[in-house]
Amino acid sequence: MNEESAVLVAGGRGFIGRAVTELLRRSGDSVVSLDRNADHLAGSAAATRGPGCDVVCDITDVAEVQRVFEATRIGGIIHLAAILPTAARREPLRATQVNVEGSLNLLEMARRFGVRRMIFGSSLSVYGTRPRDQVVSEEDRAAPEDLYGAAKLYVERLGEAYRERHDLEFVSLRIGRVVGSGAHSATSAWRSQIFELLGASQPIEIALPYVGPERVLLVHVDDVARVLVTLLQATRLNHAVYNAPCESVIVGDLKHEVEGLNPNLRVKLGKEDAVGNPRLLDCSRFQREFGFQTAAIAEQLRKAAGKMTS
């Protein structure tokens, strides 16, 4: 992005959004971070660290979104705002309004105000469940199984139409299960707990719902942020869709790794299969194009444990 424009991060106070905003601001970029919930912004350190601002804005309100674009020249967008799968099942109307209508509002503003590039935080859920031994690439046909995945795929198609008709560089990043400290998830708390509880001084249990032999595609939040910013800042993009680099982790191995880092931790496994996403992924398109490597989840866990004991 040029020095006279800002990067708009929609969903900037969410789990991934916070990491993206922090990374951009550390590098000196001006960032407009949007979040619909003012409570998320209260006492936010991000508002006073680096150039840019935090803005309360509901992306389903086109007038609110327009005012943001009128107030600041936006050079690029990273769109991460979404109602997540469990909440989408519970509130399908609201999920459709945010995940589809809100995305359309951002696309329209990007068109009207001449934004060069929009990076969309899509999901591996667009592929649906695949056979355990199938390695899924961007060339495989999408087959989402829930409202969340279907909305992600629809927005990808919307973005494709805007790219072809309005010359907006719209790029989708299909992201797996994101782990790291600070997710604040009520339905999959383990994604943060495996990092946040590594320093526990008393016995504590982490519930991980999957069976031991199951595989899950995991990526650390800091790596997702780096991938998104790489796509935003690249001089040239060869593709419109990328699988985010991630690791296929056997659940039983993850349990063993976490428990080995702190004897006070016990990871209790469940009886579920990891449905709705592939188990194996080809993410070589992004890795080849940008020479990008992520740290293994086990390495990330050991690093986090070392920080807690140092």
Question: pLDDT for 128-153, tens place per residue?
Answer: 999 999 999 999 999 999 999 999 99
Segments forming the whole domain that contains residue 197: 178-217+246-275+295-309
Q: Give the residues of the chain that fall short of pLDDT 70.
A: 1-3, 38-51, 309-310
Q: What is the pLDDT of residue 186?
A: 78
- Residue 81's pLDDT is 97
Whether residue 285 lies inside any domain: the answer is no
Strand partners, 205: 266
Report the domain count for the chain. Answer: 2
pLDDT of the residue at 310:
57
Q: State the pLDDT at residue 4.
A: 77
Same domain, 28 and 159: yes
Query: For residue 289, what pLDDT is reported?
Result: 97
pLDDT at 283: 97
Q: Are residues 87 and 139 in the same domain?
A: yes
- Nearest by Cα to 21 from 59, 69, 43, 54: 54
Whole-number CA gyration radius for the chain? 19
Under 8 Å between Cβ of 190 and 177: no
Q: What is the pTM of this model?
A: 0.93
The Cα–Cα gap between 75 and 60 comes to 21
Sheet holding 215-220, edge to edge: 177-179, 215-220, 247-250
- Joined together, the tokens standing for residue 247 give 């690791």
In a shared domain, residues 183 and 223: no
What secondary structure does DSSP assign to 139-205, as a single string?
A: TSPP---SHHHHHHHHHHHHHHHHHHHH--EEEEEEE-EEESTT---SS-THHHHHHHTTT-SS-EE
CATH of the domain at 196: 3.90.25
